A and B are shown apart, each in its own frame.
Chain A
């Protein structure tokens, strides 16, 4: 891992308008992402976990400027891309790609695999003659574990895992350095999940890609990630190397999440920490620490008043909790 991060996210916020007044002025906001800072180094996989609705997918899309951030800065290398215009952003789009969760929605049903991958390819290299193009598309398909002759088929002729491979081939066609993997395996069968995860890891080794790997399955994230960030209600509550998160979680929310991971060995039982209540609405997040209404440790007068900052509990292990020691 090199020293300068490939992608830096600084205090990024994304608020969606939930309700408008009669004259179109925003009345209420959903704070989907509410001040997140993260670094992703070259060749690194940063896992991003959290419950549904915590803003992890939104964050992934904001990083690629598929959603415009409400506030904050995003850097690719040394370049700030937060406010780049469409035409200036275009060359950088080749560097940053995305793989989606839904293998059925991520491919245009009316384009053959060849057309879909070639369209991406043409974004980077122009003036390929048809046979060269076919060659390159075939190479890409083989690289992701498909056969060359698959290029003539339509997306609906493939299984979920194969479609996910096509999505990966399309992303690879522009030769990216950084890929947001937005729950790429959540919709797949468990047996296929492992194949896709291994494919992603092999590609990382070969091409020294960086991933922002979004998931809610903690075991997979531990396996693939170098570092893991845990999100709750639009904020990062804990950020640490994968091994540290799993061995010694600091934040009570992380502890609760980890206690829900099933353990294969029946002789080893872990105490389940059951969280009470539902995730509060991001329309109206709780004051102070957003986790305090559900936190088993919450202290009156502290946690419901002051929002904790994300600070280092030890080298490389950041926690956002008043009571984490």
Chain B
């Protein structure tokens, strides 16, 4: 990494705050489950639910720091284990999306011609398919899919917008005189793409990528609801949000906890992404 980019990053308070939030979220999600002593799926009906079936609140029952969820499971344990699922899906699905989107966008924008036409029609086709229908259709074919199937699917479906944006940006950069100069110098196409085109189209891709992390967390919960991906009783922040809805009037905290982590993740990744973009732009 360019030491100057690192210095610019360190001076950017927003970016540092973003990095801080992302660190917390990642710690919660990936270290949390090992720290947690409770089983996230076991029900403690007698301890954690009142006689009317309302979950008991935080700091009431010893050993259950955040109380119980809608059916008397340990809320804290579910938050920690659910974070692992949500963040795993969000990060891998986003990474795959960005990789495919950048590859398709940059190559079709740079090379153009028939290759570009074919890929862009593929994008049209993918965009015309309702996402949830595709998810349901796949669910009919694949029984009890693994978590990895979920993020591969998300990645394979979501790259279209990013591909279009980077393609447009690539076409603009391709005509810049520094790319012409690189061609006149006889540089290889690979080098032109990696040294001259890619760094100059990365900005919008980073911004889209960071917002994707947030979207993926939400989409994952919708997918779980449809039976694809995380199945009950396994927790994820998205599914906890949905379950909490049922008791919104009695225990709004059941929605607030997972929502707070999702907001932290979204906000953190956005700030971090923008900070990275600015750090790598020598003009700032």
Q: Is the CB of A110 within 8 A of B282?
A: yes
Provide the A83-98 mask, 1 if CB < 8 A to any CB of B, else 0: 0000001110110111
- Determine the residue in chain B with the shortest Cβ distance to A93: B186
- The reply to whether the CB of B196 lies closer than 8 angstroms to some CB of chain A is yes
Q: Is the CB of A61 within 8 A of B187?
A: no
Q: Is the CB of B177 within 8 A of A105?
A: yes
Q: Is the CB of A109 within 8 A of B186?
A: no
With contact pairs A90-B186, A119-B187, A120-B185 given, residues A156 and B176 touching in the complex (Cβ less than 8 Å): no
Contacting residue for A110 out of B177, B184, B185, B281, CB 8 A: B281
Shortest CB–CB separation between residue A67 and chain B, in angstroms? 10
Contacting residue for B180 out of A91, A98, A109, A119, CB 8 A: A98
Shortest CB–CB separation between residue A286 and chain B, in angstroms? 30
Residues of A within 8 A of B196 (CB): 108
> In the complex, A111→B177 CA distance in Å?
14
The B interface is mostly helix, strand or loop, or mixed, namely helix
Q: Is the CB of B200 within 8 A of A108?
A: yes
Contacting residue for A89 out of B186, B280, B282, CB 8 A: B186
> Which residues, 172 to 189 on B, are CB-close (under 8 Å) to A?
176-178, 180-187
Residues of A within 8 A of B53 (CB): none
Q: Is the CB of B184 within 8 A of A64?
A: yes
Q: Is the CB of A93 within 8 A of B178?
A: no
Shortest CB–CB separation between residue B150 and chain A, in angstroms? 36
> In the complex, A98→B280 CA distance in Å?
28
Contacting residue for B195 out of A90, A93, A97, A111, CB 8 A: A111
Provide the B247-284 mask, 1 if CB < 8 A to any CB of A, else 0: 00000000000000000000000000000000011110
Number of chain A interface residues as a range:
20 to 34
Q: Is the CB of A100 within 8 A of B181?
A: yes
Contacting residue for A98 out of B184, B195, B199, CB 8 A: B184
Residues of B within 8 A of A171 (CB): 181
> In the complex, A120→B185 CA distance in Å?
6
> In the complex, A94→B184 CA distance in Å?
8
Shortest CB–CB separation between residue A110 and chain B, in angstroms? 5
> In the complex, A167→B181 CA distance in Å?
9
> Which residues, 72 to 123 on A, are CB-close (under 8 Å) to B?
89-91, 93-94, 96-98, 100-102, 105-111, 119-120, 123
- Determine the residue in chain A with the shortest Cβ distance to B196: A108
> In the complex, A165→B74 CA distance in Å?
68
- The reply to whether the CB of A246 lies closer than 8 angstroms to some CB of chain B is no
Q: Is the CB of A66 within 8 A of B195?
A: no
Residues of A within 8 A of B281 (CB): 109-110
> In the complex, A102→B186 CA distance in Å?
21
Shortest CB–CB separation between residue A170 and chain B, in angstroms? 7
- The reply to whether the CB of A154 lies closer than 8 angstroms to some CB of chain B is yes
- The reply to whether the CB of A174 lies closer than 8 angstroms to some CB of chain B is yes
With contact pairs A110-B281, A156-B282 given, residues A102 and B184 touching in the complex (Cβ less than 8 Å): no
Shortest CB–CB separation between residue A27 and chain B, in angstroms? 17
Provide the B192-236 mask, 1 if CB < 8 A to any CB of A, else 0: 000110011000000000000000000000000000000000000
| Contact surface of A with B, Cβ cutoff 8 Å | 61, 64, 66, 89-91, 93-94, 96-98, 100-102, 105-111, 119-120, 123, 154, 156, 167, 170-171, 174
Identify 10 new A-B residue pairs, CB closer than 8 A, beyond the known A100-B180, A105-B176: A98-B184, A107-B178, A108-B200, A109-B200, A109-B282, A110-B199, A123-B185, A156-B282, A156-B283, A171-B181
Provide 7 A-B residue pairs closer than 8 Å at the C-beta atoms, listed in order of the A residue: A61-B180, A93-B184, A98-B181, A101-B177, A109-B281, A154-B282, A174-B185
CB-CB nearest 9 A-B residue pairs? A93-B186, A106-B177, A154-B282, A100-B177, A90-B186, A108-B178, A105-B177, A110-B199, A98-B184
